[in-house]
Structure 1
């Protein structure tokens, strides 16, 4: 199929310099972050304004060219990678990178989809506010991508997913119309919630070009600690105690297995095991206090004393300064990097009800140990919201590629069957992309899939918005 007329029209619309067709120029946009998927594209289109984005969508409709929206290309499910046909066009939103407005009294910031998450955080901080979304890729991921996957991160326990941090959207519809829903309202009960329909849709229903995001007051103090525990069950009891004593001050509660932490130490020598003795589980927790550091530390000391007296916590270390706090978070954030250094692994981004986490880990670990003896479990995640990164590493000394070839399909099925048995989700914060389409179809109810397909058909009848993602 030739795209000569389409590409010529795109050049007229946004300028020839922003219609990339040379293989050297397009290559960075065609492979996903994990290098699991590599596609082909007739072009990479880079609009600079919402109006230009809308013009490109209209041209795509006219010429029947499918579009694959892309932000920072940091996704983990192949949701922003084109297929191998070369018939699709990637529409990169990186040039839509303006902060349009900050309203400290309304506690909102209005930004375009291509703004890097870390830049939103910096602009909020300059205004004396906090933008609470925080995740490992924040230096390169974009707000449009965060919204399209409903990203989670480390602050969900207190502040919610990206969906809870968004008040309004600007969206280019699959017909090329521009919907201005940039209303910074906490209450708007005037019909269907179109905003929530586009958030988490991974660009399959329209193109998010801007958003109004919630800001919060900057905390006066943060206190961070590592707590050692005997089991995930003890971690759940510790979470309940922390929520009772700290209430809304609790902003982070991350679970890491002993093997996770030792794996980080193996590949990053500067990050030593934080306790003198081994412990089955380690929790990283953080309190954010609006009063003072003295108040936060006094509360923290009382919490830890109670947890030790009740036998929930075996040992604990509290960060004495900002550098030590950052070191604690670096330990948590280096787990995926250590896994990559260790070799190929089988990743799962799942969620189960918080009360089920201990039982899920025990049951699923046992099933995998029986199916793949010697497999090493790398279990970590956001315990406070039920989201686990439940990953499986090949046995020590076993070729990882051969292990994945032999066991990946069976292990995925074991994990997802266990997730379903615990009434959970096979994708908590990474989305479905093209990675989990078939798995989602297996575990979703037929009525749920029919409703999703009806929405897709109603909004995008030509199936030009990111086809082959989320739904077949």
Structure 2
């Protein structure tokens, strides 16, 4: 295919030297996904600086039939922001669009652009004695637009919900370049479909998120963070119920990890140490958070939870963070699990969910089943037990060749894990999205009616198929 010289000249004239590049050295870091699983090529890297520039850019692409791959911080887990190998698409970066358009402290709402990094959002809110109630390990690179497009989760979903629950209004550019302006927040609005919700989680296949109105909460008055050693994930589930009963709305985080994951972090992450003296098959990280005026109650509540857990035989040992530094050290070990296990060797990483009440039973059943089917692997599970969402990793054998093993045995393993999840009434994607990595699996295992609806909506809003082609939406089955 010859290069579309007329399009490229028009795009460069529209965006200027700061917004248009074909320099391989500048483009290369953005052409491979964070996990290193997917790499592609692009005609150019386009970086508009405003919604109007995004609109004109998309209209130009539509006129020339050029595919668009939107990208935020390039921290996604499923290859959803990586172009294919054809080199026929442009990569559209939202990173220059990182402005705070307005911040209303009384309404506790912030209007920000899609390229704003999550950590910066946290810092901006904190300066106003407010907070944004969603965080995750990649907060230093993940952008607001990416979080919305994938409906990200994180470690505070137990109390505050996923990204969908934080979005009060949305602005997006559609496939024809028109601008959907839904930033205004109305408590009641009954004019038909909630269109912003359709765009949230659509991974750039229906429109390109350019700005959002997000909810903020009062700053925390304090928190109490505990680390507990347990015999089983079943005991962790019982401890979670105990914590919910005793802590109520103060309970903000409840994460679990097996001993293997803890050992991986201790081995590969500097300045970490085991919070407990002895070895325990499972660990639980518990966080209680209170608003100003409530913090004084938290230490007694967390002590009561742990004491009751020990009395009931659920907790073998536990410790409570003595200060903020120690609390952050506990959370660092949770946040570093994925990078640490990546350093151990290749693994098939599954972001799955089943009904909350069944998650512990699923893990206890699935791990030995996977181990029996693939005896040279090591299945492990960690994550958000209270959300019914764990990261189910299957670590390859010691002699596995990274990049080759994933494409060979790894694909068979993933299909088997996804089959198990589906049998348990769960989802093959809890918080990372579908991207290109799980698109075919969604087509294989997803409800046929739901998949047809996805294709119909895509066709209606993007009839040319130029928005993030090859991602999320399953192909129609062969006749």
For this structure pair, what is the TM-score category when the shorter chain's length is used for normalisation?
Answer: over 0.9
- Structure 1 range deviating more: 276-285 or 180-189: 180-189
Which residue in 1 is equivalent to 2:346? 344
Measured in 2, the distance between the counterparts of 1:218 and 1:447 equals 43
**Residue in 2 that maps onto 1:210:** 211
Deviations 1:294-331 (A, max 9, x none): 21111111222112112221111000000100000011
SS of alignment partner, residue 449 of structure 1: helix
Taking structure 2 as the reference length, the TM-score comes to: 0.96
Q: Distance in 2 between matches of 1:184 and 1:313?
A: 45
Q: CA deviation at 1:405?
A: 5.2
- Indicate if the aligned counterparts of 1:107 and 1:214 stay in contact, CA closer than 8 A: yes
Query: How far off its partner does 1:407 sit?
Result: 2.5
Deviation larger for 413-422 or 191-200: 413-422
1:58-86 Cα deviation digits (max 9, x unpaired): 10111110100001111111101111111
SS at match of 1:347: strand
Alignment size in residue pairs: 471
- Which residue among 465, 468, 471 is the counterpart of 1:469? 471
- CA RMSD, aligned part only? 1.4
Do the aligned residues in 2 keep the contact of 1:364 with 1:414 (CA within 8 Å)? no
Equivalent-residue separation in structure 1 for 2:331 and 2:117 (angstroms):
21
Cα separation, 2, equivalents of 1:268 and 1:89: 37
Q: 1:124 to 1:17 in 2, by over 3 A?
A: closer
The aligned counterpart of 1:197 is 198
Deviation (angstroms), 1:404: 4.0
Q: Which is further off, 290-299 or 428-437?
A: 290-299
> Where does the alignment leave 5 or more consecutive residues of structure 2 unmatched?
none
The alignment partner of 2:121 has SS state of: helix
Give the superposition deviation at 1:452: 0.7
- In 1, Cα distance between the equivalents of 2:269 and 2:11? 47
The answer to whether the Cα contact below 8 Å between 2:151 and 2:164 also exists between their aligned partners in 1 is yes
Is the deviation greater in 317-326 or in 22-31? 22-31
Judged with a 3 Å threshold, the aligned counterparts in structure 2 of structure 1 residues 186 and 225 are, in CA distance, closer, same or farther, namely farther
Question: What is the alpha-carbon distance in structure 2 between the residues aligned to residue 143 and residue 116 of structure 1?
Answer: 6
1:134-173 aligned within 5 A:
134-173=135-174
Q: SS of the residue aligned with 1:15?
A: helix
Distance in 2 (CA, whole Å) between partners of 1:98 and 1:17 is 17
Deviates more, 1:406-415 or 1:163-172: 406-415
- For the Cα contact (< 8 Å) 1:47–1:53, is it kept in 2? yes
* CA distance in structure 2 between the aligned counterparts of 1:409 and 1:92, rounded to whole angstroms: 30
How far apart are residue 121 of structure 1 and its match? 0.7
- Contact conserved, 2:145 with 2:209, CA < 8 A, in 1? yes
Structure 1 pair 159–66 and aligned structure 2 pair: CA distance change class (3 A): same
The farther-off stretch of 258-267 and 207-216 is 258-267
Q: Deviation above 6 Å: which 4+ runs of structure 1? A: none
Three-state SS of the structure 2 residue aligned to 1:188 is coil
**CA, structure 1 residues 66+406, in 2 after alignment: closer, same or farther (shift >3 Å)?**
closer
Deviation of 1:2 (Å): 2.1
Task: Spell out, residue by residue over 1:95-143, the C-alpha distance to the aligned partner (whole angstroms, 9 max, x if none).
Answer: 1110001111111110000011111111111111110110111111110
1:69 alignment partner, SS class: strand
TM-score of the aligned structures, taking structure 1 as reference length = 0.97
Q: Which segment drifts farther, 39-48 or 295-304?
A: 295-304
Structure 2 counterpart of 1:375? 377
Q: Deviations over 1:406-465 (max 9, x none)?
A: 521221122111100111110111111100011011111111111111100000000010
In 2, the alpha carbon distance for the partners of 1:235 and 1:279 equals 12
Hey, what's the Cα distance between the residues in 1 that align with 2:137 and 2:124?
Answer: 19
Please name the residue that 1:80 is paired with. Answer: 81
1:187 maps to what in 2? 188
Following TM superposition, by how much is the alpha carbon of 1:288 offset from its aligned partner in structure 2, in angstroms?
Answer: 0.3
Q: What is the match of residue 119 of structure 2?
A: 118
CA distance in 1, matches of 2:307, 2:30: 52
